[in-house]
A and B are shown apart, each in its own frame.
Chain A
Amino acid sequence: QVQLVQSGAEVKKPGASVKVSCKVSGHTLSELSMYWVRQAPGKGLEWMGGSDREDDETIYAQKFQGRVTLTEDTSIDTAYMELSSLKSEDTAVYYCTTGFTRLPAAHFDFWGQGTLVTVSS
């Protein structure tokens, strides 16, 4: 069973950057396709980006192009999401998520517990 454990809550000032980690256990990160999703308070789910392992290409949602960077350290089975130039609207819970099915049928079987990022001056 895959488990995803994310880093703790963060408070950042506008204009700063945040880096959230996602530790994989129960499987090898190099065999998984990892994605990131966020949810602003009281709002819906928003897909940020990710990479299908077979394509080995990271795709970002147009909304976050240039501001988000997704990386991985497969030696420690940990994925990272870094978001820069933070604004108050980036206050949200950030989730890492993955599954075994590949595109175009990919779905998210496993989710991290979420990391609350608060952007406030």
Chain B
Amino acid sequence: SYELTQPPSVSVSPGQTASITCSGDKLGDKYVCWYQQKPGQSPVVVIYQDNKRPSGIPERFSGSNSGNTATLTISGTQAMDEADYYCQAWDSGTGVFGTGTKVTVL
């Protein structure tokens, strides 16, 4: 079955840039989206179709996808961005989530 791998954790200082990778075989051939989940809350989509931001999502969130790796970048990270982040893609009509990355803003 298809797998998406993320680093377990990323630490970033306030105002700095956080980059979260998502790796999968030929991932660049698929659309990737990213979800943010804070404790006790339902996930929220922050990036869809590789690099599009839903309305209401700050411009500091951006995405890219090429080759075997998709990347979520948070520029000028704020304390409110501390959360778990999951990438997600589709493989033959089956949804697949990444392993998840905990972003800590120190």
Contact = CB atoms under 8 A, between A and B. Distances in A.
B96 interface: yes
A9 B92 CA distance: 32
A62 B42 contact: no
A45 B93 contact: no
Identify whether the interface residues of B are mostly helix, strand, loop, or mixed.
Answer: strand
Interface range, B side: 20 to 34
Interface string B94-106: 1111111000000
A66 to B, nearest CB: 16
Interface of A: 35, 37, 44-47, 50, 52, 55, 59, 61-62, 95, 97, 99, 101, 103-109, 111-114
Interface of B: 1, 30-31, 33, 35, 37, 42-45, 48-49, 54, 84, 86, 88, 90, 93-100
